[in-house]
């Protein structure tokens, strides 16, 4: 996907501007990746913390609750210090909350991808195949060949 996108971007730029087009393309790809990680990471953590608030087993101290709600790794670390039944309940709740956060992010990403595909299909006009075909030689057109 990235190779195809770079080919389209660089190929649509004039030859003397191909370097600038490549740089802008690379910068946008890096920025988009970082922004996506930040946004989806924030959504995933918010879902995790919200679900963990209601799913924590009883008998945990305030510090243990805060650590378990912070991250999946924190919940697993706290579970190592707890009796087996409470530890199993805590790790199970943490895994369920983490997976639910991933599922929410996947659904949002899927809906966004479909919406973007629909937007691209309707916003960018389609050209007939004959308008995009290049002649084999400078003096001959495709219709002269057939």
Quick one: which of 65, 111, 108 has its CA closest to 90?
65
Within 13 Å of residue 89, how many CA atoms lie on the same side as its CB?
12
Q: What is the pLDDT of residue 135?
A: 54
Q: What is the pLDDT of residue 146?
A: 46
pLDDT tens column, 30-49 = 999 999 999 999 999 999 99
Q: In angstroms, rounded to a whole number, what is the distance separating the alpha carbons of residues 73 and 96?
A: 13
Query: pTM for the whole thing?
Result: 0.72
Query: How far separated are the first and last CA of the chain, in Å rounded?
Result: 34
What's the longest Cα–Cα distance across the chain?
84
Q: List beta partners, residue 137.
A: 140
Tokens of 9: 């971007």
Cβ atoms within 10 Å of 52's Cβ, excluding its own: 24
Residue 57 backbone dihedrals phi, psi, to 5 degrees: -70, 160
- The single residue listed with the structure tokens 């990235």 is 2
Q: List beta partners, residue 140.
A: 137
Within 13 Å of residue 20, how many CA atoms lie on the same side as its CB?
6
Tell me, rounded to whole angstroms, the distance of Cα 37 from its chain centroid.
7
pLDDT tens column, 49-100 = 999 998 998 889 999 999 999 999 999 999 999 999 999 999 999 999 999 9
pLDDT tens column, 10-36 = 888 888 888 898 899 889 889 999 999
The domain locations on the chain are 40-119
Within 13 Å of residue 9, how many CA atoms lie on the same side as its CB?
17
């Amino acid at each position: 996907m990235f190779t195809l996108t770079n080919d389209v971007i660089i190929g649509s730029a004039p030859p003397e501007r191909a370097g600038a087009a490549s740089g802008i393309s690379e910068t946008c790809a890096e920025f988009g990746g970082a922004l996506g990680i930040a946004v989806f990471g924030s959504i995933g953590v918010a879902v995790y913390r919200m679900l963990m608030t209601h799913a924590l087993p009883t008998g945990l101290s305030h510090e243990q609750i805060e650590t378990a709600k912070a991250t999946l790794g924190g919940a697993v670390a706290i579970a190592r210090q707890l009796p087996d039944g409470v530890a199993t309940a805590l790790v199970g709740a943490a895994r369920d909350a983490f997976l639910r956060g991933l599922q929410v992010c996947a659904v949002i990403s899927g809906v966004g991808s479909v919406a973007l595909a629909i937007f691209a299909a309707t916003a960018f006009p389609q050209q007939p195949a004959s308008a995009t075909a290049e002649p084999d030689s400078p003096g001959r057109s495709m219709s002269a060949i057939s």
